Structure 1
Amino acid sequence: MTTAIPMSNRRKVFITGANGLLGQKLVAQLLEKDGFLVVASGRGECRLPGNGFDYVSLDISDEKEVEKVLSELCPDIIIHGAAMTHVDECELNQEACYDANVNATSYLVNAAEKIKAHFIFVSTDFIFSGEEGPLDENAAPAPVNYYGETKLECEQLVKACNTKWAIVRTVLVFGIAHDMSRTNIVLWVKSSLEAGKEIQVVDDQFRTPTLAEDLATGCILIAEKEAEGVFNIAGPDFLTPYEMANIIAEYFGLNKGLIKRADSSTFSQPAKRPLKTGFLIDKAREQLGFEPKTFQTAIGILAKQINLARD
Structure 2
Amino acid sequence: MRIMITGCHGLLGQSVLKMFLKSTDSEILATAKDARTFLDFGGFDYTMLDITSRSDVKNLVVYFRPDVIINTAAYTNVDGCETNRELAWRVNVEGVRNLVNSARRVDAKLIHISTDYIFDGKNGPYTEDAIPNPINYYGRTKLASENEIKIGGIRFAILRTNVLYGVGKNVKSNFALWLYQKLSNGESIKVVTDQIGNPTYVDDLAFAILKIVEFDKEGIYNVGGKDFVDRYTFAVKLAEIFGFDRELITPVKTSELNQIAPRPLKSGLVTLKAESELGLKPYGVEDGIREFKAKLNEL
Q: TM-score range by the shorter chain?
A: over 0.9
Q: CA 1:127/1:44 → structure 2, altered by over 3 Å: closer, same or farther?
A: same
TM-score normalised per structure 2: 0.96
Question: 1:148 pairs with 135, 139, 163, which one?
Answer: 139
1:49: how far off?
2.2
User: Which residue number in structure 1 is paired with residue 178 of structure 2?
Assistant: 188
- Which AA in structure 1 matches 2:253? D
Question: 1:82 pairs with 73, 78, 84, which one?
Answer: 73
CA RMSD of aligned residues (A): 1.3
Distance 2:135 2:38 in 1: 34
User: Which residue number in structure 1 is paired with residue 226 of structure 2?
Assistant: 236
Q: CA 1:71/1:241 → structure 2, altered by over 3 Å: closer, same or farther?
A: same
2:109 corresponds to 1:109: no
User: Which residue number in structure 2 is paired with residue 210 of structure 1?
Assistant: 200
SS in 2 for 1:292: coil
More moved, 159-168 vs 133-142: 159-168
User: Which residue number in structure 1 is paired with residue 285 of structure 2?
Assistant: 295
SS in 1 for 2:131: coil
Distance 1:44 1:197 in 2: 32
- Which AA in structure 2 matches 1:152? L
User: Which residue number in structure 1 is paired with residue 210 of structure 2?
Assistant: 220
Distance 2:298 2:279 in 1: 30
2:156 corresponds to 1:165: yes
User: Which residue number in structure 2 is paired with residue 7 of structure 1?
Assistant: none
User: Which residue number in structure 2 is paired with residue 68 of structure 1?
Assistant: 59
Question: 2:167 pairs with 157, 169, 176, which one?
Answer: 176
- Which AA in structure 2 matches 1:165? F
Give the unaligned 5+ runs of structure 1: 1-10
2:106 corresponds to 1:119: no
Distance 1:81 1:187 in 2: 19
Judge conservation of contact 1:176–1:182 (CA < 8 Å) in 2: no
- CA offsets per residue over residues 8-53 of structure 1, 9 Å max, x none? xxx1110111111100001111111233111101112223221110
1:162: how far off?
1.6
- Which AA in structure 2 matches 1:22? L
Distance 1:196 1:163 in 2: 50
SS in 2 for 1:286: helix
Judge conservation of contact 2:165–2:177 (CA < 8 Å) in 1: no
TM-score normalised per structure 1: 0.92
More moved, 251-260 vs 210-219: 251-260
Give the unaligned 5+ runs of structure 2: none
- CA offsets per residue over residues 167-226 of structure 1, 9 Å max, x none? 1000011011124x4333333333433443332110000011011111111111101111
2:231 corresponds to 1:268: no
SS in 2 for 1:68: helix
- CA offsets per residue over residues 208-254 of structure 1, 9 Å max, x none? 10111111111111011110110001111101110001111221233
2:17 corresponds to 1:17: no
Question: 2:125 pairs with 105, 110, 134, which one?
Answer: 134
Distance 1:231 1:65 in 2: 29
Judge conservation of contact 2:201–2:225 (CA < 8 Å) in 1: yes
1:298: how far off?
1.3
- Which AA in structure 2 matches 1:260? T
From the CA coordinates, give the structure whose radius of gyration is larger. 1
Q: CA 1:194/1:107 → structure 2, altered by over 3 Å: closer, same or farther?
A: closer
